């Protein structure tokens, strides 16, 4: 293997390692400058709130709020309202996309209160009113808030809006409102090497754990550890070739692995994705996709071998996959998604048929939401989901809940109806604080409609 080929192979490793940082912070920058989907542009240390049918992808059964955090000028105080028995989670993600802390129903906080969000290494005076200190691994982070909500129920949506009005962020001492944007890198860097320039600048501004910094040393020859002026303004031909080839190879590796985790071979057929907890009856999930944080597990996280990747190389790849297919997703013990393209008999799901899903008591999770999505997916509003909070759900005498999936509404028990597309579709079940080891029953097909 020649020197150039070895350099390109090293660059592919560096791409897998650094892609989550670049993708995550690019998303933060987009969010603060132009908005993100239906979420309006929002300054650092302020919240943006999603509305029904326009929320964060994969948040069936909840309404999401998002706040980019800048702790470079000192700690922030997060004030949250009492949410009572309603499912709520406050999820904290660092610049490298690691979930490093949680608060909420599962992790404590249903009665509301204040949390101190501290920058790395902070050692100041903690106010007595603060419930707990959450130290961020990086000076920039992201806070995601999700409240369970019956999205078709105007009263429940209004109740969540009232809850969100009680969310607040304010600096502990300094009056600053946070940075106006993220450093963009040296403008002299060649446009084709923008990824590498952003990785260089952001890895320097938001350094990872000590173990990861040791791993970064292997990429010294690629220039991503250099400070000051960019090495990518007029790089040597060999370096430019290695970086471009390595970026392409690294991206292809992540894409191929992402398809395996997504469980779709491109035409709607399941491809044998690794099954996560809560699967069965044709359902496939990725409950352990977000287990890549090995170094900074703060309040609300579970520091157990079940929820930790065994090796750093696997953690880097899994982190890159997660950034590609589910940026800022939570650990599987907080929430997980399972899906199926087939019914209990192994036949493809199709809107020409009706299906039933029986969920016997006790419920599979503290909260859940079921929806159906066309295959292949096309742009458009998110389909209606039925959740544990949907008004008027009808249960059998023993507590069993029978959900009906069909293209046309049934004549009775319409609250239990999950609308499906006219053609091929996949069913998606979102579980909030899922029961360990729960196996979702298969969908049973009825006669053609």
Q: Which phi and psi (to 5°) does residue 438 adopt?
A: -70, 135
Whole-angstrom distance, CA of residue 289 vs CA of residue 315: 9
Task: Tell me which residue of 6, 1, 3, 9 sits closest to 253, measured CA to CA.
Answer: 9
Whole-angstrom distance, CA of residue 247 vs CA of residue 224: 13
176 located within any domain = no
> Is residue 310 located within the same domain as residue 430?
yes
Residue 86: how many CB atoms within 10 A of its CB? 19
Last residue of a domain, one of 124, 152, 171: 171
Kindly tell me the burial class for residue 171, based on how many C-beta atoms sit within 10 Å of its own C-beta (0-12, 13-18, 19 or more).
middle
32 located within any domain = no
8 Å CB contact between 399 and 72: no
> Is residue 225 located within the same domain as residue 366?
no
In a structure prediction context, what are the per-residue pLDDT tens digits for the chain, which is 449 residues long? Answer: 455 789 999 999 999 999 999 999 999 999 999 988 778 899 999 999 998 865 555 567 899 999 999 999 899 999 999 999 999 999 999 999 999 999 999 999 999 999 999 999 999 999 999 999 999 999 999 999 999 998 888 999 999 999 999 999 999 986 665 666 788 889 999 999 999 999 999 999 999 999 999 999 999 999 999 999 999 999 999 999 999 999 999 999 999 999 887 654 333 333 333 333 444 568 988 889 999 999 999 999 999 999 999 899 999 999 999 999 999 999 999 999 999 999 999 999 999 999 999 999 988 899 999 999 998 877 666 778 899 999 999 999 999 999 999 999 887 778 999 999 999 999 999 999 998 878 899 999 986 55
> Is residue 429 located within the same domain as residue 304?
yes
Phi-psi region of 357 (alpha: psi -120 to 50; beta: other; left: phi over 0): beta
> Is residue 308 located within the same domain as residue 433?
yes
Task: Tell me which residue of 89, 81, 69, 84 sits closest to 161, measured CA to CA.
Answer: 81
> Is residue 406 located within the same domain as residue 296?
yes
pLDDT of residue 104: 96
Q: Domain of 11: which CATH number? A: 1.10.3360.10
Q: Domain of 82: which CATH number? A: 2.60.40.1610
> Is residue 97 located within the same domain as residue 211?
no
> Is residue 101 located within the same domain as residue 155?
yes
> Is residue 340 located within the same domain as residue 212?
no
Describe the crossing of helices 237-262 and 194-205 by its angle, rounded to 10 degrees: 80
In which domain, by residue range, is 213 found? 3-24+181-262
Given strand 444-448, what is the order of strands in its sheet?
417-419, 401-406, 353-359, 444-448
274 located within any domain = no
146 located within any domain = yes
8 Å CB contact between 383 and 371: yes
Helix (H, G, I), strand (E, B) or coil at 133: strand
pLDDT of residue 267: 39
Task: Tell me which residue of 165, 215, 205 sits closest to 185, measured CA to CA.
Answer: 205
pLDDT of residue 351: 95
> Is residue 137 located within the same domain as residue 201?
no
277 located within any domain = no
Whole-angstrom distance, CA of residue 197 vs CA of residue 25: 13
Number of domains in the chain: 3
> Is residue 332 located within the same domain as residue 223?
no
pLDDT of residue 259: 84
8 Å CB contact between 238 and 247: no
Q: Domain of 346: which CATH number? A: 2.60.120.600
Which stretch of DSSP H or E encloses residue 156? helix 154-165
Helix (H, G, I), strand (E, B) or coil at 204: helix
Strand partners for 148: 62
267 located within any domain = no
290 located within any domain = yes
Whole-angstrom distance, CA of residue 278 vs CA of residue 330: 15
pLDDT of residue 280: 52
Whole-angstrom distance, CA of residue 291 vs CA of residue 284: 17
272 located within any domain = no
pLDDT of residue 265: 36
Place of tokens 């707990």: 132
> Is residue 75 located within the same domain as residue 137?
yes
pLDDT of residue 261: 75
């Amino acid at each position: 293997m020649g020197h150039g080929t070895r350099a390109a192979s090293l660059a592919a490793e560096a791409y897998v390692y650094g892609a989550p940082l670049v993708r995550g912070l690019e998303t933060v920058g987009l969010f603060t400058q132009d908005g993100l989907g239906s979420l309006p542009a929002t300054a650092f240390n302020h919240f943006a709130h999603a509305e029904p049918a326009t929320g964060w992808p994969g948040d069936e059964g909840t309404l999401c709020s998002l706040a980019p955090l800048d702790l470079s000028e000192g700690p922030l105080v997060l004030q949250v309202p009492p949410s009572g028995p309603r499912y709520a989670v406050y999820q904290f993600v660092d610049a490298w996309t690691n979930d490093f802390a949680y608060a909420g129903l599962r992790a404590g906080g249903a009665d509301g209160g204040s949390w101190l969000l501290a920058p790395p290494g902070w050692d100041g005076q903690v106010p007595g009113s603060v419930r707990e200190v959450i130290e961020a691994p990086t000076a920039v982070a992201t806070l995601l808030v999700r409240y369970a909500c019956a999205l078709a129920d105007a009263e429940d949506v209004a109740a969540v809006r009232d809850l969100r009005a009680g969310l607040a962020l304010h600096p502990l001492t300094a009056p600053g409102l946070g940075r106006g944007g993220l450093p963009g890198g040296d403008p002299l860097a060649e446009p084709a090497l923008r990824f590498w320039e952003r990785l260089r600048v952001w890895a320097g501004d938001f350094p990872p754990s000590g173990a990861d910094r040791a791993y970064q040393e292997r990429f010294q020859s690629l220039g991503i550890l250099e400070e000051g002026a960019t090495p990518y303004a007029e790089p040597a031909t060999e370096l430019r070739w290695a970086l471009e080839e390595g970026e392409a190879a690294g991206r292809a590796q992540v894409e191929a692995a992402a398809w395996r985790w997504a469980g779709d071979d491109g035409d709607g057929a399941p491809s044998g994705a690794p099954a996560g907890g809560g699967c069965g009856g044709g359902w496939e999930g990725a409950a352990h996709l977000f287990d890549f944080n090995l170094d900074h597990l703060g309040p609300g996280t579970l520091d157990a071998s079940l929820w930790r990747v065994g090796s750093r190389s696997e953690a880097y790849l899994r982190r890159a996959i997660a950034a590609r297919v589910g940026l800022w997703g939570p650990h599987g013990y907080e929430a997980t998604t399972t899906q199926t393209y087939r019914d209990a008999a192994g036949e493809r799901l199709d809107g020409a048929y009706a299906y039933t899903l029986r969920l016997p008591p006790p419920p599979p999770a503290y909260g859940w939401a079921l929806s159906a999505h066309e295959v292949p997916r096309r742009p458009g509003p998110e389909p209606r989901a039925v959740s544990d909070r949907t008004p008027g759900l009808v249960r059998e005498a023993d507590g069993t809940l029978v959900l009906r999936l069909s293209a046309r509404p049934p004549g009775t028990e319409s609250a239990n109806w999950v609308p499906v597309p006219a053609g091929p579709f996949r069913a998606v079940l979102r579980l909030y604080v899922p029961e360990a080891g729960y196996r979702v029953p298969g969908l049973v097909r009825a006669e053609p409609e």
